[in-house]
Amino acid sequence: MTKTFAWVATAPHTPLERRELQIDEPHTDEVRVRMVASGVCHTDAIVRDQWYPTPLPAVLGHEGAGVVEAVGASVTNVAPGDHVLLSFSSCGLCDLCQRGKPAYCRDFFGRNFGGRRGDGSSSYVGDEGVVSSHFFGQSSFAELANVPARCLVKVPESAPLEMLAPLGCGIQTGTGAVLNRLDPEAGSSIAIFGAGAVGDSAILGAVIAGCSTIIAVDVIPERLKLARELGATHTVNSREVDTLEAIHGITGGLGVQYAVDTTGIPSVFRVMTDALSTLGHGVLVGAAALGVEATIDIGSRLPVGITVSTVVEGDSVPASFIPLLIEMYQQGRFPFDRLIRQYPLDEINQAFADSEAGTTLKPVVVF
């Protein structure tokens, strides 16, 4: 066991606590990573608040970036000293992983939300007992984490880890939903519901895809202004106008060919489905509490042949998709850095609060 520290979620709607912990040795398929930075994501907040039943206390965080300190006996893809980004966990063995769909791994929930390894062990123990680890395979709100090798994406040593950290979840979720699942044709129309970090990433994806009509929908004027700067051709403030009428006005009454709901709000999901044109395709990426239901007007939607999909982690294979995003950033085609605000690690609770208030799109805490 090695001494480390972490910011621990202890109860719903309660600030994280800095605690001294002990971390065990990496298992044979794991890598010990010393964190440099971690993004703060909406999913961290909803798990802290127990929308999903990860056992508390828990070390959350799932957009980690750091340096490899040690590797397990069977690890061959990285070595001590390598710089890495961390993404979600998957088994690599089930039929869906084998088909290149690790975001839909048969054991996705257990590996990412269970708070334990498959053998029931946790990496962390404190003075008050066991603390859940392996959140999204990583628990990146800790100085040290034992991470399954499959979660790692090696990046060049020159890569700015403090900026790249959010690529592991939020950024790849929005961009991947557009590029990997929707795959819109150049010249097509798309509506993005929610202009937060995930929504803005979807806008960037739509720009890359060559969509000619990109509609951003939100309720915060400053977010809509940034969405315009990132490439949205139209913006809709749904507090001021009827969203569906506005979208139909922009599209000549046809509706949009593609849409992304990043909010997980049932009423927004309903508007998204109503806004789709004939043979349109809409995707839901925003998380909602277990048991939340939304409606679709099956009477009017059946004749127009729409497709509605749910998308996890941008339908991506992180080991190939994240390097692509980095390459596009280096080419000046993917300015996701405009979404990021950095915080010292000891201001992590302020980062959570600013994210919830909408004043910061993508907080990144720096160790």
Distance CA 71, CA 30 (A): 6
Domains and CATH numbers, the chain: 2-168+335-366 (3.90.180.10), 171-312 (3.40.50.720)
Distance CA 255, CA 300 (A): 13
State the helix-helix crossing angle for 243-250 and 266-275, rounded to 10 degrees: 30
Q: What is the dihedral of CA 38, 259, 102, 352, to 10 degrees?
A: 20
Distance CA 38, CA 166 (A): 7
Distance CA 218, CA 128 (A): 43
For 242, the 3-state DSSP assignment is: coil
pTM for the structure as a whole: 0.94
Would you give per-residue pLDDT tens digits along the chain (367 residues)? 899 999 999 999 999 999 999 999 999 999 999 999 999 999 999 999 999 989 999 999 999 999 999 999 999 999 999 999 999 999 999 999 999 999 999 999 999 999 999 999 999 999 989 999 999 999 999 999 999 999 999 999 888 999 999 999 999 999 999 999 999 999 999 999 999 999 999 999 999 999 999 999 999 999 999 999 999 999 999 999 999 999 999 999 999 999 999 999 999 999 999 999 999 999 999 999 889 999 999 999 999 999 999 999 999 999 999 999 999 999 999 999 999 999 999 999 999 999 999 899 999 999 9
Amino acid making up residue 70 = A
Measure Cα distances from 186 to 54, 108, 210 in Å.
Answer: 41, 33, 4
Cα four-point dihedral sign 259, 264, 267, 273: positive
